[in-house]
Amino acid sequence: MLPKSAAFESLMKTAAIQALRRKLAADKPVFGLWVTLESPSITEMAVALGMDWVVIDAEHGHLDWKEIVEHLRATARSETVALVRIAELNGGLIKRALDIGADGIVIPWVETVEQLKKAVAFARYPEEGLRGIGGERATCWGQCMVEHTAEANEHVLVVPIIETVRAAKQVSQMVQVDGVELFYFGPADFSSTAGHRGQWEGPGVAEQILRCKDTIRQAGKHCGLIATSHENLLERQKQGFRMVGLGLDAGLLFRTIKASLAVVGRDRPVQASFAPTLEQSPTPAVPQPRPPESMRPDRPEIMSAVGSGPKIEIARGVVFECLVGSHNQARKLTTGLVTFAPGAVLPYHLHTFSESITLLSGSAVVEVEGRSYTLGKLDNVVIPPGLAHQARNNSSTESAVFHIAMPTDTPSRTLVDKFFSRRTMPATQPGVPGGERVNRFATAERGAAGPNTEFIDFFNQDLVPGIEMSGGYGLFHPGGRLPAHYHDFDESICIISGRATCNVEGRRYSMADCATALQPRGRVHYFVNDSGSTMEMLWVYAGPRPERIVVEERNATVEGNPWK
Per the structure, the complete domain to which residue 311 belongs is given by 302-427
Best CA proximity match to 78, nearest among 103, 104, 96, 106: 103
Does residue 334 sit within a domain? yes
Kindly tell me the sign of the dihedral angle through the C-alpha atoms of 170, 175, 179, 185. positive
pTM score: 0.54
pLDDT one-digit tens code per residue, 63-87: 999 999 999 999 999 999 999 999 9
| The pLDDT of residue 266 | 66
List the catalytic residue out of 60, 62, 230, 477: 60
pLDDT at residue 367 above 90?
A: yes
The amino acid at 336: G
Q: Is residue 474 part of a domain?
A: no
- Long-range contact list for 90-97, CB < 8 A, 24+ apart? 90/122, 91/122, 91/130, 91/131, 93/58, 94/119, 94/122, 94/123, 94/131, 95/122, 95/131, 95/132, 95/134, 96/65, 97/58, 97/68
CATH number of the domain where residue 395 is located: 2.60.120.10
Do β-strands 491-497 and 485-486 pair in parallel, antiparallel, or remain unpaired? unpaired
Residues 240 and 369 in one domain: no
Q: Is residue 48 part of a domain?
A: yes
155 belongs to the catalytic site: no
Is the separation of the CB atoms in 134 and 94 below 8 Å? no
Same domain, 177 and 237: yes
| Res 264 pLDDT > 90 | no
How far apart are alpha carbons 320 and 340 in whole angstroms? Answer: 9
**Model pLDDT for residues 428-452, shown as the tens digit of each residue:** 889 998 899 999 998 888 888 888 8
Average pLDDT over residues 98-115: 97
Q: How far apart are CA 474 and CA 472, in angstroms?
A: 7
Beta bridge mates, 383: 355
Among 192, 217, 252, the domain boundary falls at 252
> For the chain, what is the radius of gyration of the CA atoms?
30
Mean pLDDT of the chain: 92
In a domain, 263, yes or no: no
CA triple 328-329-333, angle to 5 deg: 95
Report the domain count for the chain: 2
Instruction: List, for residues 393-407, the tens digit of each pLDDT value.
Output: 999 999 999 999 999
CATH number, residue 188: 3.20.20.60
Which of 226, 252, 278 is at the close of a domain?
252
Q: Do 245 and 306 reside in the same domain of the chain?
A: no
Burial class (CB within 10 angstroms; exposed 0-12, middle 13-18, buried 19+) of 90: middle
pLDDT at 260: 74
Say if 451 falls within a structural domain.
Answer: no
Does the residue 13 lie in any domain? yes
Collect all residues with Cβ–Cβ distance below 8 Å to 472 and sequence separation of at least 6.
280, 455, 456, 457, 458, 459, 538, 539, 546
Is 39 in the same domain as 133?
A: yes
Confidence check: pLDDT of 539 > 60:
yes
Dist CA 63 CA 66 (whole Å): 8
Q: Answer yes or no: is 154 within a domain.
A: yes
Q: Do 161 and 18 sit in the same domain of this protein?
A: yes
Q: Band the pLDDT of 280: cuts 50, 70, 90.
A: very low
Q: Do 309 and 166 sit in the same domain of this protein?
A: no
DSSP tally for the chain: helices H, then strands E: 13, 32
Question: Looking at the structure, do residues 138 and 9 belong to the same domain, yes or no?
Answer: yes
Tell me the average pLDDT across 301-316. 97
